[in-house]
Amino acid sequence: MDKFLIKGPCKIKGQVLISGSKNAALPILASTILFDKTVTIKNLPRVRDIDTMLKLLKSLGSKIQFFNNKKTVKIIKNKKQKIFVPYSLVKTMRAGILVLGPMIAKHQKSITSLPGGCLIGARPVNYHLSALKKFGMKYKIKKGYIYANSKGQLKGANYKFSNISVGATENSIIAASFAKGKTILKNCAIEPEIKDLTNFLKSAGVNIKWIGKRTVRIIGADSLKEIKYSVMGDRIETGTFCVAATLTKGDLLIKNFNPKLIQTELNLLRKTGATIKTSKNEIHIKGPKKIKSINSIVTKEYPNSLATDLQAQFMVLLCTANGRSSITESIFENRFMHVAELRRLGARIIIKGNKAIIEGQTEFKGAELMSSDLRASVALVLAAMVARGQSVINRIYHLDRGYEKIEDKLRKIGVNIKRLS
């Protein structure tokens, strides 16, 4: 099992090119189930979750052709499509549930395994099932599988999500795109990755319009046209590198991402003392000599709050600040799993329910560490970068699920990091 060896402290300098967004690409790839014609997707990140989704599509009957070092895929549909999604293909990836909506919309039946992924909270699929049921889907759950069907084509519906859910919003938008008639979805998640999905479907001929902050109107299409589409840059990778530059008191130019999509995080970094200049698709960030604490940060749904996928990275940064800070996690109930490992490096963090109280002025010291989930893993990498001495990070397969060649990118900007097999 691979691990990282990192020798610190390191200071970042140079430039980094942001990869395509994993969280945008996964629902877009799932939605290709609706197509009869060829779909070409560009700017895909080379990460394990994308490989898993492509294997899943292949198992259902799609032909996959790779171009441009696998960053571009052409998806060609065979006439015979399967409807079974085995546990073996979704046990490491929550996004496997995203094929349920398009399969019911396209084929009126599906046998889909309940998903796997990171152990960072319940992430119940009931939000997905409740919404799809409104379109006419019937289902039962048996031995870890969702057995679903509908009598004929799904029908458009008016539906308000009881809780804001990214995955359920995506699944419902995809299903509604092929349902008969008009759908109004209210209380939707509105992350940039969801807007990328609606832009993709709109390009394919679906009549989609956002008619309120969290309300979208969709008129289902009878067929979708052949298209080529480039996935947006990765918002969480961008935020991670912004934190890295601030943490190491570095000087970093970040390319291939629209800074308007992470304004909240950039403003928080400015509060810690970072100097940030932005242009159309670039962010130039310089870390301060002394990092300032932030009294209170709360993770909430996009926009206007810190993204939960950047919570662990910001916690590392605040460990080195000049005073006490706090982070309240309101999205997932089990997302402080990295705290125990950060304590091994010297962090002083007290957990009170869903709130972490972070004592600043920590001088991290190298240690052997264990990754627990995707974003916690990268937080340990950040901490090891500024720790004195050598750190070993085990179980980095979590990182490979969501960060494309992160050790290569870090090495090019000054981090002493090696992958050990």
Q: Which residues contact 143 (CB under 8 A, 6 or more apart)?
A: none
Cα–Cα–Cα angle for 236, 240, 241, rounded to 5 degrees: 120
In the beta sheet, which residues pair with residue 158? Answer: 184
- Catalytic status, residue 118: yes
Q: Is the pTM of this model over 0.75?
A: yes
In terms of residue numbers, what domain contains 79? 22-230
**Beta strands 109-113 and 138-142, pairing class:** unpaired
Boundary (domain end) residue, out of 204, 230, 256:
230
Whether residues 168 and 299 share a domain: the answer is no
Whether residues 261 and 366 share a domain: the answer is yes
Boundary (domain end) residue, out of 196, 211, 230:
230
Task: Indicate which CATH number applies to the domain containing 343.
Answer: 3.65.10.10
Count of structural domains, the chain:
2
Place of tokens 């070409």: 40
Whether residues 275 and 263 share a domain: the answer is yes
Positions in the chain short of pLDDT 70: 116-123
Whether residues 31 and 7 share a domain: the answer is no
Whether residues 11 and 62 share a domain: the answer is no
Sign for the pseudo-dihedral over CA of 55, 59, 60, 61: positive
Determine contact, residues 383/360, Cβ cutoff 8 Å.
Answer: no
Whether residues 174 and 75 share a domain: the answer is yes
Q: How much is the pLDDT for 120?
A: 34
Of 10, 118, 242, 319, catalytic: 118
Q: How much is the pLDDT for 114?
A: 86
Boundary (domain end) residue, out of 212, 230, 248:
230
Whether residues 246 and 210 share a domain: the answer is no
Q: How much is the pLDDT for 281?
A: 95
Listed residue (352, 268, 274) closest to 310, CA to CA: 268
Determine contact, residues 145/113, Cβ cutoff 8 Å.
Answer: yes
Place of tokens 């937080």: 379
Q: How much is the pLDDT for 96?
A: 87
Q: How much is the pLDDT for 116?
A: 63
Whether residues 206 and 252 share a domain: the answer is no
Whether residues 247 and 215 share a domain: the answer is no
Whether residues 152 and 222 share a domain: the answer is yes
Whether residues 314 and 371 share a domain: the answer is yes
Q: How much is the pLDDT for 118?
A: 39
Whether residues 11 and 47 share a domain: the answer is no
